[in-house]
Amino acid sequence: MATTSKVNGTAGSGIPENVPPVSCPLADEPTEIASNISFHAKYSPHFSPFKFEPEQAYFSTAESVRDRLIQQWNETYLHYHKTDPKQTYYLSMEYLQGRALTNAIGNLEIQGAYADALNKLGHDLEEIVEQEKDAALGNGGLGRLASCFLDSMATLNLPAWGYGLRYRYGLFKQRITKDGQEELAEDWLEKFSPWEIVRHDVTFPIRFFGHVEVHPSGSRKWVGGELVQALAYDVPIPGYKTKNTNSLRLWEAKACAEDFNLFQFNDGQYESAGQLHSRAQQICAVLYPGDATESGKLLRLKQQFFLCSASLQDIIFRFKERKDGKGSWQWSDFPSKVAVQLNDTHPTLAIPELMRLLMDEEGLGWDEAWDVTTRTVAYTNHTVLPEALEKWSQAVMWKLLPRHMEIIEEIDKRFMAVVHTSRTDLESKLPSMRILDNNPQKPVVRMANLCVVSSHTVNGVAQLHSDILKSELFADYVSIWPKKFQNKTNGITPRRWLRFCSPELSSIITKWLKTDQWVTNLDLLAGLCKFADNEDLQNEWASAKMANKQRLAQYIFRVTGESIDPNSLFDIQVKRIHEYKRQLLNILGVIYRYKKLKGMSPEERRKTTPRTVMIGGKAFATYTNAKRIVKLVNDVGDVVNTDPEVNDYLKVVFVPNYNVSAAEMLIPGSELSQHISTAGMEASGTSNMKFALNGCLIIGTLDGANVEIREEIGEDNFFLFGATADEVPQLRKDRENGLFKPDPRFEEAKQYVRSGAFGSYDYNPLLDSLEGNSGYGRGDYFLVGHDFPSYMDAQARVDEAYKDRKRWLKMSIMSTAGSGKFSSDRTIAQYAKEIWNIEECRVP
């Protein structure tokens, strides 16, 4: 592998002399591709000349791939413009794209050609891919779902775009120190991203603050305040084996040169001279800025409005542009050309903003604007957790968005009038159903209620979750609009989550199914069922799994310095750190296992199933208990991994800075994964689908999509434990009434932590959340104590099953074979048909 500046005796440029720098933007032969990469290195330089080390090679390679994408992109844009189909616009505060290079060359089917081309340039594709930093545009499952959806939209040739924000510093980069988690700014844009194209001609004004002027005609106009510009950056989204290349449009906030006060600057008032510039930069600096302060709340609201306003102005502009010169049209045509999907409540302000644009800018009356808006917008709910259902202070809203508050008040008033006239039986429920909560202590706007009242369709993201929405959270609305509520079980893209991240397993699947069509028709995986007992398949399966485990062991050594044994059972839980996801249950189980191993004789230990437990995920910067859990996992690892009596049988590793690229290592190498949230609290989960697809067995509760995964892969192939969603409320009541009897194993595990076995850090505040029967932060709200005994019993069943290699391999094959339902292609096809009413628009 060449990393020096002289390769094959060239004169210092680092690029071999036999590879001339020639522009071949659509090349698919390795020799021409190598020339095109060389051309970009020389004529689109970002570094000093004569350097062609892996980093320079990555940027030139990305630009070469981008040439091909731009050609397809332009053809797609033109085709949509000419055929003018109904188009979906997906609004999301988060996208977790992962690396673009492997995905792009995979979807374009030019992996081999690029590998050969890079070899000619003295580089290795695997090494070049590693140079790419993950785009820091998301945090957890919400953002990754949005990215899987974009991949499926393009692959299904659907006219659909994503809209998001271009966060410079992301959520944070996680570093683990002796004190636990430390947050650093993400550096993905420290140099630049080769995948984005700035569109200098696509800018829209975004207003904050100000006041509403009432004209003599009665029309209203929002004026004054502060104006910033939204500038578009486009990222290409290629489909798999198709020309269609859609866009993810990300907005950046900017101020203009005329907003810079030169007089103040020359007078030495540097800060105030560039005040608007610095305020504009704050908008897209960080994902989910801390909102404990008034200024933090304002900034979050600014972000949400900025996304909604820029996106809707763009959508309206494009709608008019496509109508231009095509005869007369009416605004009532808008919903037959535009579908807007709100990914959770963060983009709720799209509703009043669309109303404002239609009424104040386009001159529509209320009734017509309301008709257009309610036929255009649909809402996906992602949570039943009360703290995640956004409620914004009315005072903050009036200050930042006075016109929108007028519109929201009017929507609320009209909704209540409808209930008063047509549903008198619901009048007693109105205080909780209405959009404005006018509680004098804390008047708020309930964003989920605004979404439900204003959308034509509301969907949950797994069958259990949608059932809970209909029977509990939104039950009263269901009685008014029974047809408004649907389920759309989430899915994942089989390209990134199997085809590209586990090439060995993919080849085996293709070989046994005698087709690679499963990559776009995942139901074909069911064809593996009939071979599940076949010894040849089992042996091939085991060797592919071992290759992935070895690759993962190398990765773990690289990022943590810890050596792990690929012959042990790889047991993984990776997801955001949250008390409802119950990483605490996992680590307390590990602590009990460690204590038992310590008490065994060497002979007894040799009979146990050796395990490597890996836990990873980010804890929100201000979420104290989540950060304590991160510290506890690390402290337990420090003790267990250095204990010579036990560390051949148990290792505990915290995987730092969990992101998409880490997941692409962890998931293929995993054999058991933990999806152990308190039943009824995880809307769906999507990592459970990724693990199952990769032949990893699940230990889990009947929560979210676990319910459907277990149905699809077979109950015998799923390690089930814990209370069910309908039992949880009663169990909480019993706890409050002092009826809970803890399992001695649970008490023992907690006591072991309190004994100081894992260091001197005071874990009492964390353990106290599991104690007592009621009170804030007490009473074990997430039922860790209740589910502990059945969790430990399920883990014992895992140990037994793993000892029977044939049985375990069969279960693993059945897990993959049953994963067909969980393709995001299926999910998106259902959204397209049942919510958006859009159709394939294939580029010829």
Q: Are 189 and 196 in contact (CB under 8 A)?
A: no
The whole-angstrom separation of Cα 28 and Cα 296 is: 49
Q: Which one of 575, 611, 710, 750 is the catalytic residue?
A: 575
Backbone angles phi, psi at 596, to 5 degrees: -65, -45
609: alpha, beta or left, given left = phi > 0 and alpha = psi -120 to 50? beta
CA terminus-to-terminus distance, the chain: 41
Contacts of 576 by beta carbon, 8 Å cutoff, 6+ apart = 139, 140, 141, 617, 618, 619, 620
Instruction: Give the torsion sign (CA, 693, 698, 701, 707).
Output: positive
Q: Does the active-site annotation cover 575?
A: yes
**Cα distances (Å, whole numbers) of residue 778 to 189, 588, 643, 735:** 42, 17, 33, 11
The answer to whether 797 is a known catalytic residue is no
Indicate if 166 belongs to the active site.
no
Please report, for residues 6, 38, 45, 116, 128, the alpha-carbon distance to residue 56 in angstroms, rounded to integers and kept in the order given: 14, 10, 9, 18, 9
- Say how many residues make up the chain: 844
Active site annotation includes 576: yes
Q: Are 844 and 91 in contact (CB under 8 A)?
A: no
Report how far residue 771's alpha carbon sits from residue 765's, in angstroms, rounded to the nearest whole number.
Answer: 10
Catalytic residue among 488, 690, 750, 821: 690
Spot the catalytic one: 123, 382, 732, 821: 382
Q: Give me the phi and psi of 401, to 5 degrees please.
A: -135, 70
Identified catalytic residue from 374, 686, 816, 827? 686
Catalytic-role residue among 300, 465, 470, 581: 581
Nearest residue to 286 via CA among 276, 296, 277? 296
Residue 371's φ and ψ, nearest 5 degrees, are: -60, -45
Answer yes or no: are the C-beta atoms of 516 and 489 closer than 8 Å.
no
Does residue 581 have an active-site annotation? yes
DSSP state of 347: T
Amino acid making up residue 642? T
Tokens of 300: 């979050």
What string of DSSP letters covers 596-620? HHHTS-HHHHHTS--EEEEEE-PPP
CB 784 within 8 A of CB 589: no
457 is catalytic: no
CA dihedral 173, 177, 181, 183 (to 10 degrees): -40
- For 11, 502, 536, 685, the CA distances from 818, given in Å and listed in that order, are 56, 18, 20, 17
Q: Hey, which residues are catalytic here?
A: 382, 575-576, 581, 686, 690
